[in-house]
Every structure is written in structure tokens, then in C-alpha cells.
Chain A
């Protein structure tokens, strides 16, 4: 078995490394398990620190490749470049071909949350006990009908001020994480691909939204959308 020093060195280089040997060591070594938890908290803080605020641009005219929200008075070179790029954008917008990009802030928060719970991504065929699963789902007034797949992880997680179900379902495409976001209303499906996490946030009529995502896999968005639709069909709302 891997020794503690090697385990910690490896983890310090990549705290989200999911190598089988690391998982095996962590499960058998309480000290390293505790060390991992602390390191992941530090990692989550590091990630938040690196995400320095950047003004979001949502209007087409402000979304040109050449325009940056200026935080300082722009030098003349930048202004000239902005004008040149704006001309290109104006031509595109005039053609009515603008593709809008949904705000990714909700997706970013979902991804940030995922990075705090790497242990959830294990590929396994061991389902969580029914009592544990229903305990998590009951809080959000839902249950899962048969056909959703093996739920290998279920936790009630704090997310944007609410407790939300965080599930991992084993699918043919590998483990897929589902977050039931009854407090987060979205108008349309929002695909995202951030930091190795690819997924969709889909609206759920009257019940907020559902985030479904994979990690480090080659599963394409269309497949994830199909998985999301299947999960949505298997949800039975109890209130």
C-alpha cells in the first residue's frame, strides 16, 4: 500500500487526483483522510481566490471579441482595437446571427461545489442505502422512480444558502452528478464546460432547475442532455 508521505505528496500536486491507489490509501488511513479534508478546504479557498471578479458581458454589443470592460481609462491603442472589433460585431448583429451565451455564474458555482467533493466521483456499482437516499431527497420533497440508475452517492449539501440534494448516478457514460436546485430558476437549458466539468442546467417547471454534469469524461453535451432528461423523468415530486 502507498505510504503516507507519498500519498500527501501526490495530493499536494493534485488534490483532485482520483487514482485508485490514493482512494485505497485514504480509506485505510484516518490521518490522511483528515489531511485530505483540510487540503480540499484550502483548495476550495484557492479556487475562489483565483476567480478574481471579472465583469460579465451579456449584451451582444458588449460581447465583441475586442471589447473588455475597462477598469481603468483605456489607452488609445485599446480604444482603436475596440472600435475595429465593434465594427465586426455590428456586422454580425445586423445579420441577426448573434448566438447568446447564458450566464455561467450558476454553472461556475456548481463546478466550484463539485471540486469540494471529489470522493463522490468514484465509479462503483454499490448503491447508497435506500434510507440514506430518501433522507436526502425527502428534504427537497422528491423521490426517484425506478429507472434513474444506481445512485452511488447522496448528500444534502449547502449551496447558495439552501440545502440541496447532490447525487451521483452511475450511467453507461460513467458517473454523472445531479444537483436538484429547487431554488434556482433558469429560463432555458444552459450547457457549460468549465475546468474539466461538462454539463447542463435544465429548467424544471415549478421546481427550479437540475444540474447534471460529468467530470473529465469525453461524454458530449447531447448525451448529457439525454441523461438529464431521463433523470428529470424519474423524479417524482411529493409536494
Chain B
């Protein structure tokens, strides 16, 4: 009986943890896939996988990178399950326009459209750093890159983004 209560409490804590991280995981999946419906499916599936494997999470402090890794793998699996067709970026922007336009400022909508246009290899580390709060070392570990490679991608991501957003990039450094 005592064990059952302890197990239930553990599961409830795990559920609360998932719930608190869910918004950022959804956002991460969205920026990964640039598709709201797919992001919801990926996070949904990831949460169920996490739920089944919750005993593998030994340290709650590591829940965020652990769940994020599950989301990334689940996103990769979605490619295996259904052959995703290649879509033009402008089409993606148009398809997600209602969501992109939900911005209190026009320049936020423009920034979101510019983010859609960033190459995947630049957008993902940028989202991990800015949205998920990952350090360079954590990004390197997650993406299986060197720290220097991560910094280069982050540099290029911001440089391209600033140009796409029409920022004054005259003082930006060259690579």
C-alpha cells in the first residue's frame, strides 16, 4: 500500500513536470517542424513515450534535455512513418500564417517568417539556445557537434536573421 502511494506520488510529480515543460516542448517542436499540427502530434507521442519510460529519468533536474531528446527522436521518426513531402518555405509561411500573425507587433510576425526561412541547421541550435536556455555545451551534446561548430552556427543564424529582418547589419562582423 505504501509502495503504491509512493509510486502514485512519483507519477504525479512526473506528470506535473511534463506539464510544466510542455509549452516549451511544443514551441520547440513547432520551430523544428514549422508545422503546428505535426508539432502537436510529435509532442503528444513524445509525452506517451516519456510516460512509459519515466523510470529512466533518474534526476528531475535533467528532465528538460531528456524530454527534448525524446521530442527530437520522435520528430525524426515522423519522417520514417510518413514520407513528408518537400514544401517551399513561402508555402510553409502561408500555411502557418494565422499562427505567425498572432503577434502584438508586426515586427514579431516578420521575425517569425524570417525564422521559417533559416536553414534547419541554423534554426535548431538558435531555438535551443534562446527558447530552451541551453548552453553551448548542452547544444553540442544534443546535436552531436563540437562547441566551436555550435558557436559558428549560432553566429550564422543571427547574422542571416538580422539580414532577413532588415536590421542594420553594417556593423555586424564578418565570419
Binding site for B on A (CB under 8 A): 4-5, 8-9, 12-15, 31, 35, 38, 42-43, 45-54, 56-57, 63-68, 70-72, 75, 77-78, 81-82, 84-85, 88-89, 92, 95, 97-101, 104, 194-197, 216
Contact = CB atoms under 8 A, between A and B. Distances in A.
Contacts of A104: 20, 23
B44 A66 contact: yes
A196 B132 CA distance: 8
Contacts of B171: 8, 31, 35
A14 B108 contact: no
Interface of B: 5, 8-9, 11-13, 15-16, 18-20, 22-24, 26-27, 30-31, 36-37, 40-41, 43-45, 47-48, 50-51, 99, 102-103, 107-108, 111-112, 115, 126-127, 129-133, 135-136, 151-152, 154-155, 158-159, 161-162, 165, 167-168, 171-175
Given A49-B108, A92-B12, A197-B133, A84 B99 contact: no
A30 to B, nearest CB: 13
Given A12-B154, A72-B36, A195-B133, A49 B20 contact: no
A63 B107 contact: no
Contacts of B23: 54, 56, 104
Contacts of A4: 173
B74 to A, nearest CB: 12
B151 A14 contact: yes
Closest 7 CB pairs of A and B: A195-B133, A65-B47, A49-B111, A196-B133, A8-B173, A13-B151, A99-B16
Nearest to A58: B19
Contacts of B15: 63-65, 89, 92, 99
Given A35-B171, A71-B37, A52 B20 contact: no
Contacts of A72: 36-37
Contact of A13 (B30, B47, B155): B155
